[in-house]
């Protein structure tokens, strides 16, 4: 049954978004199984109830596909398993919930009960205290802290945008943690735009739209929505979100949303929604600079109780990882590798542990590819980037391209210079430093670089 569950996980990985898979399915533990029944454990009761309500069918379908026959699923809280109070194989799913100490039913007609706000579980580590602030995110961080301290009194709505893995979800959940710490009675809903859409579809099919609207418009003090760009092209969902937005804003309830791009770049988004996002504050989150990347790595290592030598931190910070998530993932991989090999962290070990990862990155992100994307963005020709013209219309795109080549490939300064028509390595160094400095001063340039990076990274 363990092998069947592992196969089922692969089916689920291909079926749902990475966010949902990492949040719910990847954290499920195999407890026991026999014949046509399996018992799975969740880290906490909230997660167990959420999965039972919204994803039990997906799990059963994946298990049936892996097993070739239907499999009955019991979900329990791991704490109950640890205390030897996990339900037996003969218990039903409802009985399992009771045995695990459930006091809230999250299925059937009670799925929108006021006592059971359908919102994603919060990661306890996503707090402001564990967020590394740098020039790339300090304005967004300050805005989020202000909103968390005084919901609906400062920036409402707050719209946070930036590339994948730069900390938007961390800040969103940090707001939730702070609001609840200051006011435990506050009704905070943290949800993704995708799940908001899924709940809407279920409410329509179950003829429960009144309950859906009441939940989001009357029983919510703070609405935190991740990846609002997912609403593009979904006319009915946009209609409901529009009226939900109006109801909350009129009632002076806080609204915070995140996106991978600014409102103006979200295609097929109704203008009336786009305009309302501009009522409050728009803040962007950019890729961290070198010093911030080092601080992120050191903070992660401290949290793991691992000593990270400075030279290794510097080496990882220059590895070409495009965002915070990749940086932390690289460090985690290195720590595990060092533990398995019983070796101390070092640059040599990092190259050994991350060699394949970095090799794959260099294959997918080449200097030629970056040059083409930059040339297309600024509407110049690639030969111009490699040429000797020094006019602003060419020199600026060339500097940006050099900066991005240094950031997203493993190429040295001399190698980059050679691919730009034989430029000296000092020319490349100067261009990179120039862009790094201007990124701290110019929001326009940050927007340009963010847009180009989204195209480069797909």
Domain at 34, CATH number: 3.30.300.180
Q: What is the CATH number of the domain that holds 335?
A: 1.10.8.60
CA 278 centroid distance within chain: 23
Q: Using an 8 Å Cβ cutoff, are 76 and 96 in contact?
A: yes
- Pairing, β 29-34 against β 37-42: antiparallel
Same domain, 409 and 359: no
Same domain, 100 and 14: yes
- Reduce the DSSP state of residue 296 to 3 states and report it: helix
| Separation CA 120–CA 172 (nearest Å) | 12
Residue 115 lies in a domain: no
Same domain, 44 and 97: yes
Is the bond preceding 409 in cis, omega lying within 30 degrees of 0? Answer: no
Tokens of 363: 């294959």
Residue 122 lies in a domain: no
Residue 323 lies in a domain: yes
Give the Cβ contact number of residue 22 at 10 Å: 12
| Separation CA 251–CA 168 (nearest Å) | 26
Residue 417 lies in a domain: yes
Q: Using an 8 Å Cβ cutoff, are 270 and 232 in contact?
A: no
Same domain, 351 and 371: no
Same domain, 355 and 380: no
Same domain, 7 and 96: yes
For residue 66, the enclosing domain spans 2-108
Residue count (the chain): 458
**Adjacent-strand bridge partners of 33:** 38
Q: What distances in angstroms separate CA 171 from CA 237, 257, 258, 262, 444, one per listed residue?
A: 25, 11, 10, 17, 23
Q: What is the CATH number of the domain that holds 217?
A: 3.40.50.300
How many CA atoms within 13 Å lie on the side-chain side of 305? Answer: 1
Tell me the helices (H) and strands (E) count for the chain, helix number first.
22, 8
DSSP H or E stretch at residue 33: strand 29-34
| Separation CA 85–CA 100 (nearest Å) | 7
Residue 116 lies in a domain: no
Tokens of 345: 């962290």
Q: What is the CATH number of the domain that holds 446?
A: 1.10.1750.10
DSSP letter (8 states) at residue 289: P
Q: Using an 8 Å Cβ cutoff, are 224 and 191 in contact?
A: yes
Same domain, 350 and 379: no
Per-residue pLDDT of the chain (458 residues), as tens digits, is 888 888 888 888 877 777 667 777 877 888 888 878 898 887 766 677 777 777 788 888 888 888 888 888 888 877 665 554 434 443 333 333 333 322 222 233 334 444 333 456 777 888 898 888 887 788 999 999 999 999 988 898 999 998 777 889 899 999 999 999 988 888 899 988 988 888 888 888 888 888 888 889 888 899 999 989 989 888 889 999 999 999 999 999 999 999 988 888 888 889 999 999 989 899 988 877 778 788 888 888 887 788 888 888 888 877 766 677 778 788 888 888 888 888 888 888 888 887 766 554 544 568 888 999 999 999 899 999 999 888 888 999 999 999 999 888 767 899 899 999 999 999 999 999 999 888 877 878 887 887 888 777 65
Domain boundary among 363, 380, 400: 363
**pLDDT attached to residue 114:** 42
Phi, psi torsion values for 174, nearest 5 degrees: -65, -35
**pLDDT attached to residue 92:** 37
Give the Cβ contact number of residue 394 at 10 Å: 18
Domain boundary among 108, 139, 160: 108
| Separation CA 243–CA 35 (nearest Å) | 49
Domain total in the chain: 4
Cα distance from N-terminal residue to C-terminal residue, the chain: 37
Same domain, 330 and 409: no
Which strands form 37-42's sheet, in the order they lie side by side? Answer: 29-34, 37-42, 72-77
Residue 117 lies in a domain: no
Residue 34 lies in a domain: yes
Same domain, 225 and 264: yes
Same domain, 144 and 230: yes
Same domain, 35 and 82: yes
Query: Judging by beta carbons within 10 Å of its beta carbon (0-12, 13-18, 19+), is residue 298 exposed, middle or buried?
Result: middle
Residue 66 lies in a domain: yes
Domain boundary among 223, 251, 285: 285
DSSP letter (8 states) at residue 455: H
Same domain, 382 and 420: yes
How many CA atoms within 13 Å lie on the side-chain side of 166? Answer: 28
DSSP letter (8 states) at residue 424: -
DSSP H or E stretch at residue 190: strand 188-192
């Amino acid at each position: 049954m363990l092998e069947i569950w592992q196969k089922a996980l692969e089916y689920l990985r291909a079926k749902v978004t990475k966010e949902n898979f990492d949040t719910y399915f990847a954290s499920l533990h195999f407890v026991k199984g026999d014949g046509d029944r399996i018992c799975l454990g969740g880290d906490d009761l909230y997660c167990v109830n959420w999965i039972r309500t919204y994803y039990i069918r997906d799990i059963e379908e994946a298990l049936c596909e892996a097993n070739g026959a239907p499999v009955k699923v019991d979900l329990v809280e791991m704490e109950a398993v640890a205390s030897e109070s996990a339900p037996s194989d003969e218990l039903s799913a409802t009985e399992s919930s009771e045995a695990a100490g459930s006091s809230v039913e999250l299925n059937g007609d009670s799925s929108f009960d006021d006592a059971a706000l359908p919102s994603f579980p919060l990661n306890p580590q996503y707090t402001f205290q564990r967020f590394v602030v740098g020039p790339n995110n300090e304005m967004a961080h300050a805005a989020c802290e202000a909103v968390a301290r005084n919901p609906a009194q400062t920036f409402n709505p707050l719209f946070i945008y930036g590339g994948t893995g730069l900390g938007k979800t961390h800040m969103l959940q940090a707001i939730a943690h702070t609001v609840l710490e200051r006011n435990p009675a506050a009704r905070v809903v943290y949800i993704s735009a995708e799940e908001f859409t899924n709940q809407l579809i279920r409410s329509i099919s179950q003829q429960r739209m009144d309950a859906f609207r009441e939940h989001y418009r009357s029983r919510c003090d703070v609405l935190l929505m991740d990846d609002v760009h997912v609403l593009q092209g979904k006319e009915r969902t946009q209609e409901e979100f529009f009226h939900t937005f109006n109801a909350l804003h009129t009632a002076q309830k806080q609204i915070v949303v995140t996106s991978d791009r600014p409102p103006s770049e979200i295609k097929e988004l109704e203008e009336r929604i786009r305009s309302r996002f501009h009522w409050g504050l728009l803040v962007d989150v950019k890729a961290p600079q070198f010093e911030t990347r080092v601080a992120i790595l050191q903070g992660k290592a401290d949290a793991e109780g691992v000593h990270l030598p400075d030279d290794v931190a510097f080496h990882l910070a220059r590895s070409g990882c495009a965002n915070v998530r990749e940086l932390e993932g690289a460090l985690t991989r290195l720590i595990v590798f060092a533990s398995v090999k019983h070796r101390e962290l070092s640059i040599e070990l990092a190259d050994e542990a991350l060699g394949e990862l970095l090799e794959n990155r260099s294959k997918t992100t080449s200097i030629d590819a970056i040059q083409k994307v930059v040339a297309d963005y600024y509407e110049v020709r690639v030969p111009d980037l490699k040429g000797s013209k020094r006019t602003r219309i060419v020199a600026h795109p060339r500097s940006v391209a050099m900066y991005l080549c240094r950031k997203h490939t493993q190429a040295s300064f001399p190698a980059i210079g050679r691919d730009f028509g034989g430029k000296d390595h000092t020319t490349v160094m100067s261009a990179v430093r120039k862009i790094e400095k201007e990124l701290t001063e110019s929001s326009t340039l940050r927007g340009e670089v963010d847009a180009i990076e989204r195209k480069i990274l797909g």
